[in-house]
Amino acid sequence: MSRRKVNVGLMGLGTVGTGVVRIIQGHQEDLIKQTGMEIEIKRILVKDINKQRKITVDPAMVTSDPYEVIRDPEIDVIVEVIGGIETTREYILEALEQGKHVVTANKDLMALHGAEILKKAEEKGCDIFYEASVAGGIPILRALVEGFSSDRITRMMGIVNGTTNYILSKMSEEGASYEEVLKEAQELGYAEADPTADVEGHDAARKMAILSTLGFHVDMNLDDVSCKGISEVTQEDIQLGKKLGYEMKLLGIARRDDDMIEVSVEPTMVHHTHPLASIKGVFNAVYVYGEAVGETMFYGPGAGELPTATAVVSDLVTVVKNMKLGVNGRGIVAPYKEKQLKNDDQIMSKYFMRFIVRDERGVLAKITQILADQDVSLEQVLQQPYNSGKKAEIILVTHEASRKNMDTVVKQFAELDVITEIKSIYRVEGGEKL
């Protein structure tokens, strides 16, 4: 390739787009040294061309017409940082149709339409990279695709949503309620005015769909990820968990046992000895267990202008290197394993359970009988007086049990006369050797 310059069409000049411009401008010399090419932003797409921007760009580059960017024959690479799903899908498919390579930070799009987009890129011999879509500045997708390519990953557990980790960390450290901390997070800009996608786990589920597709080589749909958010987590759950040695985290869990797969997002009691228990605030972390390598963990900022833009521009560097070598589109590895999802009787986990009982003789015998009938044994038991003292609160941590058996336990507990209220039940991770 004799050309000395690569032209980029930047779609979006918001938080991430601004960072992309800053990094391309600020690191130009390093980028030229690494790629042998100058990387130049030729056009920028925005919604409102009259909006005041945080950085100065040549107004002649800016447009609100997406096709001026996508169909510009001189543009080699599209960087998509506008967000959204359906319209953006059309833009990206059209850009690939035009033979342009694509870098995107869009997890919503890749979780929902990733297979279609990868197929189109492969057909057209184009690159498609989306490192920034999961865990912002942490190069976890590259680690899965390249770093672990010779290993067999059996577990991935991630704190992949900074908003919920901020809320749970604050609740744990300051004793404040979920509602109080959410309000504060919204005031600080850590949570959206409508926090549903974050607090109900949808954002994390999208990221876990992407991680498990790449880590397990199966075509994992969003519908395959079971999902529960943190809006029902109480201060009491968190403090009682702590008493027994656990930190509450919204955990994405992807696990493979004999090629049977489970992927979920749910509030989880993480044992304090597990490295994920110490991840505080808006930070992200992904724990990966490979059969050969053993335990690894990737930690860093999951969002923000420059961390996210670094991931985007690093993808861009890979595209440019591939252009020089003439190998674009050849690195795409489509999922090649058959997807086999576990049933509820194959999903094994330890559980934390908390309920209120009448404080009378024979109560524990009834409870342990139900547990024994479902093959559930106990690792920890805590009993303490509740309110007036006529009742007691019992907190159990079980050994590994199937989800199916635990569902039966909960159903039978709910029917038991001596149990007056089931307060909560959470999955438990950590505290054992893998």
Ligand X SMILES: NC(=O)c1ccc[n+]([C@@H]2O[C@H](COP(=O)([O-])OP(=O)(O)OC[C@H]3O[C@@H](n4cnc5c(N)ncnc54)[C@H](OP(=O)(O)O)[C@@H]3O)[C@@H](O)[C@H]2O)c1
Task: Give the interface with ligand X as residue ranges (CB under 6 A).
Answer: 12-17, 45-48, 51, 81-84, 87, 105-107, 132, 136, 303-304, 308
Q: Where are the alpha helices (DSSP H) in 217-259?
A: 235-243
Q: How far is the CB of 70 from ligand X (least distance, A)?
A: 11
Residue with smaller CB distance to ligand X, 16 or 394:
16
Long-range pairs, 409-417, Cβ under 8 A, ≥24:
409/370, 409/371, 409/374, 409/376, 410/353, 412/370, 412/374, 413/355, 413/367, 413/370, 416/366, 416/367, 416/370
Q: How far is the CB of 194 from ligand X (least distance, A)?
A: 14
Structure tokens at 174: 């300051």
**Cα-to-chain-centroid distance, residue 319:** 24
Q: How far is the CB of 213 from ligand X (least distance, A)?
A: 17
User: What 3-state DSSP class applies to 99?
Assistant: coil
Q: Decide if 41 contacts 8 (C-beta within 8 A).
A: yes
Residue nearest to ligand X according to CB distances in the complex: 14
CA distances from 398 to 116, 403, 432, 434 (A): 42, 12, 13, 17
Q: How far is the CB of 98 from ligand X (least distance, A)?
A: 17
Query: No. of H helices and E strands in the chain?
Result: 14, 17
Taking CA 176 as the corner, what is the angle to CA 196 and CA 414, rounded to the nearest 5 degrees? 70
Q: Which amino acid is at 203?
A: D
Q: How far is the CB of 163 from ligand X (least distance, A)?
A: 11
Q: Decide if 269 contacts 248 (C-beta within 8 A).
A: yes
Q: How far is the CB of 140 from ligand X (least distance, A)?
A: 12
Residue with smaller CB distance to ligand X, 234 or 314:
314
Q: What are the catalytic residues? A: 207
> What are the respective helix, strand and coil percentages of the chain, to the nearest 5?
40, 25, 35
Residue with smaller CB distance to ligand X, 45 or 392:
45
Q: How far is the CB of 82 from ligand X (least distance, A)?
A: 4
Residue with smaller CB distance to ligand X, 10 or 233:
10
Residue with smaller CB distance to ligand X, 49 or 382:
49
Q: Decide if 249 contacts 268 (C-beta within 8 A).
A: yes
Structure tokens at 181: 């901390």
Question: Residues with Cβ < 8 Å from 423, sequence gap 6 or more?
Answer: 234, 236, 237, 354, 355, 356, 393
Q: Decide if 110 contacts 133 (C-beta within 8 A).
A: yes
Residue with smaller CB distance to ligand X, 61 or 364:
61
Tell me the backbone φ, ψ of residue 327, rounded to 5 degrees: -120, 20
User: What 3-state DSSP class applies to 45?
Assistant: strand
Residue with smaller CB distance to ligand X, 17 or 267:
17
Residue with smaller CB distance to ligand X, 5 or 51:
51
Q: Decide if 352 contacts 395 (C-beta within 8 A).
A: yes
Q: How far is the CB of 304 from ligand X (least distance, A)?
A: 5
Q: How far apart are CA 27 and CA 35, in angstroms?
A: 12
